[in-house]
Amino acid sequence: MANGDPEYRAVRRDGVLRVARRGTEWLSSGWNGGRRTADVAYNVSVPDGWDRTDLSAYVAARLERAGFGSNGDERDAPVLLTGVDLEHARGSRCGSVTAYATAGLSNPAALPMDPDGGTLPDSVTDDGPADEPSPDPLGTVNLVVGTTRALASGALANLLAVAAEAKAATLLSTTGFPGTTTDAIAVGHAPDGRASTFSGSATPVGAATRACVRDAVTASLRSRYEDADGYPASVAEATYGVSTDVEARVFRPPIERDS
């Protein structure tokens, strides 16, 4: 590895971002998410009007077209999907962490702190359909984050939460929205690296992740939009998007007393 190069090295080819580090264990919130060990992770850009539902076949074809996914490990790698052109992908590195981001805001998801008491759409209530529709990555803020530390099982899960928190804080400060309707994150660690039991914001790996996510997301937004005037000012002004205006019922958990 050349001096200064990140261990999680990325290349872009034919609308696919490939992030590689041998033997990485990943945890992904994407469509084929969960935990798995793979040498790579992908962020795949899809075209306008994309409406495919056969995601496995579609991803396999895209990876083959880009010259990736030639072995079993790569075909089983975590894959994120985005409507953002990979020309706007940006990476950042701090300490043991490297992050890559793509950020688009055509489908913002607002969370007002003074909701007007609306109702949930039928599609997301308990009475709605059991099967959710396939994700449609209209805009999407996607993150691929990797550390050279070996994280405990809970610390890897927490790292995904740390990355999501940093993404939300960055977007709120920059755009006024905490995210979009289709955001996804893949985090990875090196099982053969220096052990870290925790990954919270006060730890070296957590602090580095927060810095990397903030700076990569900010850089991708600046690439995608010339200035703040390019961001939608509200959900109503966006091409797509949602606002969670429904109010939840708040209650105090009861105390169970000894009989």
Q: What are phi and psi of 167, to 5 degrees?
A: -60, -45
pLDDT at 122: 59
C-alpha torsion sign, points 201, 204, 206, 212: positive
Identify the weakest region by mean pLDDT among 1-10, 126-135, 230-239: 126-135
**Residue, of 240 and 135, whose pLDDT is higher:** 240
Q: What is the CATH number of the domain that holds 22?
A: 3.60.70
Q: With respect to residue 52, please indicate whether it lies within any of the assigned structural domains.
A: yes
- Answer whether residue 119 shows pLDDT above 80: no
Identify the weakest region by mean pLDDT among 45-54, 77-86, 175-184: 45-54
**58: how many CB neighbours lie within 10 A of its CB?**
17
Angle between helices 204-224 and 153-175 (to 10 degrees): 40
- Greatest C-alpha distance within the chain: 68
Structural domain of 123: 9-243
pLDDT-derived band at 73, boundaries 50, 70, 90: low
Q: With respect to residue 181, please indicate whether it lies within any of the assigned structural domains.
A: yes
**Domains held by the chain: number:** 1
Mean pLDDT of all residues belonging to the chain: 89
